[in-house]
């Protein structure tokens, strides 16, 4: 079986991390496939939203600890690559987080179970995090003597604030879905029994919504993290003017006045 499963359903692209026997710990095949599919989805008009989730009982445990031990005990750690080459290799993989954050499609992490280390970082790079009530979240890096990657320090600081992010990184404790919801780390929590159906209902609602407007919204919301208010006003004025020219806007206005649901086409 491949380490990444790909399915397009109702304009929702599902990217399922597929190493359930290892709680979907990352592999080169998995992360290469994730990056390739995100790149294609970014410009595919048939994709209205992207969901990243995990097979089995976990979302993603982060790095493969067993592979790390084999590498360390074999004495091959770093022998075949310079430090610069290893940094460049990791940085290429981290582009998956950047794409999830910046691509002009709404991205959703469907956290069905434990999300730890770089797995949590990938989830936090998404626009929304929908959690099963059996999900757990943890940075985990301190427990294996790592400092963190895949953008987690940036994302967590912005999601929960600097003080709480430091606590979660330094201690590495796992927290429940309900605590993640209270902190703002998770957007919604659903019962495990109905989780897949709830995720699909939400994702398909977004995927079949005004996707052009969503792309401008996402860009503005990302810019709001670091840009000044005046710059956001300029961006919003531009986006509002451009979306006013779309067929989706005209259809939505007509549907509102006719008291019916709009039929968006992404045009």
Structure confidence at residue 179 (pLDDT): 98
Proportion of the chain above pLDDT 70, given as a percent: 94
CA gap 94, 88 in Å, rounded: 10
Structure confidence at residue 115 (pLDDT): 98
CB count within 10 Å of CB 13 equals 24
Task: Of 79-93, 124-138, 148-162, give the lowest mean pLDDT range.
Answer: 79-93
Structure confidence at residue 64 (pLDDT): 75
Total-model pTM:
0.94
Mean pLDDT, rounded, for 249-260: 94
Structure confidence at residue 72 (pLDDT): 65
Say yes or no to pLDDT of 112 above 70: yes
Structure confidence at residue 80 (pLDDT): 72
pLDDT digit string, tens, across residues 3-27: 999 999 999 999 999 999 999 999 9
DSSP letters for 189-234:
EE-GGGHHHHHHHHHHHHHTS-HHHHHHHHHHHHHHTTS-HHHHHH
Say yes or no to pLDDT of 213 above 80: yes
Say yes or no to pLDDT of 68 above 70: no
CA gap 171, 158 in Å, rounded: 18
Domains of the chain, start order: 4-207 (3.90.226.10), 211-257 (1.10.12)
Structure confidence at residue 238 (pLDDT): 97
Q: What are phi and psi of 47, to 5 degrees?
A: -100, 120
Structure confidence at residue 73 (pLDDT): 62
Mean pLDDT, rounded, for 97-123: 98
CA gap 71, 96 in Å, rounded: 24
pLDDT confidence of 56, banded at 50, 70, 90?
Answer: very high
Q: What are phi and psi of 225, to 5 degrees?
A: -65, -35
Say yes or no to pLDDT of 78 above 80: no
pLDDT confidence of 77, banded at 50, 70, 90?
Answer: low
CB count within 10 Å of CB 230 equals 8
> Which DSSP letter does residue 142 get?
G
Q: What is the mean pLDDT of the chain?
A: 95
Give the H or E element holding residue 129.
strand 128-132
Locus of tokens 């992490």:
109
Structure confidence at residue 76 (pLDDT): 59
Structure confidence at residue 69 (pLDDT): 67
């Amino acid at each position: 079986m491949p380490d990444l499963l790909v399915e397009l359903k109702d304009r929702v692209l599902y990217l399922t991390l597929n190493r359930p026997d290892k709680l979907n710990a990352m592999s080169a095949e998995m992360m290469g496939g994730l990056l390739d599919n995100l790149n294609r989805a970014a410009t595919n008009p048939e994709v209205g939203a992207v969901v990243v989730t995990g097979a089995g009982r976990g979302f993603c445990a982060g790095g493969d600890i067993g592979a790390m031990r084999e590498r360390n005990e074999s004495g091959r750690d770093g022998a075949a690559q310079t430090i610069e080459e290893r940094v460049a290799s990791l940085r290429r993989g981290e582009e998956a987080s950047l794409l999830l954050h910046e691509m002009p499609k709404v991205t959703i992490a469907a956290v069905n179970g434990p999300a730890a280390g770089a797995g949590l970082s990938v989830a936090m790079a998404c626009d929304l995090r929908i959690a099963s009530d059996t999900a757990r979240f943890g940075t985990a890096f301190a427990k294996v003597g790592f400092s963190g990657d895949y953008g987690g320090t940036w994302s967590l600081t912005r999601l929960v604030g600097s003080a709480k992010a430091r606590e979660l990184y330094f201690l590495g404790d796992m927290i429940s879905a309900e605590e993640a919801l209270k902190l703002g780390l998770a957007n919604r929590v659903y019962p495990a029994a109905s989780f897949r159906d709830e995720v699909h209902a939400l994702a398909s609602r977004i995927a079949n919504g005004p996707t052009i407007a969503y792309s401008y919204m996402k860009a503005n919301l990302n810019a709001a993290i670091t840009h000044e208010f005046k710059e956001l006003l300029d961006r919003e004025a531009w986006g509002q003017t451009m979306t006013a020219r779309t067929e989706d806007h005209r259809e939505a206005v007509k549907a509102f006045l006719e008291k019916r649901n709009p039929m968006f086409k992404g045009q």
